[in-house]
């Protein structure tokens, strides 16, 4: 039986699917396309490019950009905001991995009877 090909609607649940144009992403965040370009220049987010070369953003990238905007709105310089968001993201990933390893360790420990 051939492998099922993904349906376009399957992408609706994918946080990494680049579904949003730069204009739509900027509207959703209440910011400007220039702000999104600046985040890209600071390597906070790297949008994918459409066949025509247009930037496309995922929901995950929009959450990252929204956090950066929140920090900038509070007066944090954009360079510092990008670094903070990168570190927060790395910390969250490390916590997730740590929890997975702990869960695996609990599963592999022999059970003792009382």
For 66-110, what is each residue's pLDDT tens digit? 999 999 999 999 999 999 999 999 999 999 999 999 998 888 777
- 60 pLDDT tier (thresholds 50, 70, 90): very high
**How far apart, in whole angstroms, are the C-alpha atoms of residue 12 and residue 97?**
26
Could you tell me the pLDDT band of residue 5, with boundaries at 50, 70 and 90? low
Joined tokens for residue 71: 């920090």
Instruction: Enter the pTM of the model.
Output: 0.76
Q: Which two tokens stand for residue 30?
A: 């209440």
Least confident of 10-14, 20-24, 89-93: 10-14
Is residue 58 packed enough to be buried (19+ CB in 10 Å), middle (13-18) or exposed (0-12)?
Answer: buried
The β-bridge partners of 49 are: 55
Measured between alpha carbons, how far is 101 from 97 in angstroms, rounded to an integer? 6
């Amino acid at each position: 039986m051939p492998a099922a090909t993904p349906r376009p609607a399957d992408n609706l649940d994918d946080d990494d699917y680049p579904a949003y144009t730069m204009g739509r992403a900027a509207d959703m965040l209440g910011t400007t396309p220039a702000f999104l370009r600046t985040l890209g220049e600071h390597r906070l987010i790297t949008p994918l490019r459409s066949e025509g070369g247009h930037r496309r953003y995922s929901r995950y990238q929009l959450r990252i950009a929204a956090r950066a905007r929140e920090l900038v709105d509070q007066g944090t310089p954009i360079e510092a905001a990008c670094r903070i968001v990168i570190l927060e993201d790395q910390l969250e990933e490390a916590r997730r991995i740590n929890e997975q390893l702990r869960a695996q360790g609990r599963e592999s420990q022999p059970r003792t009877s009382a």
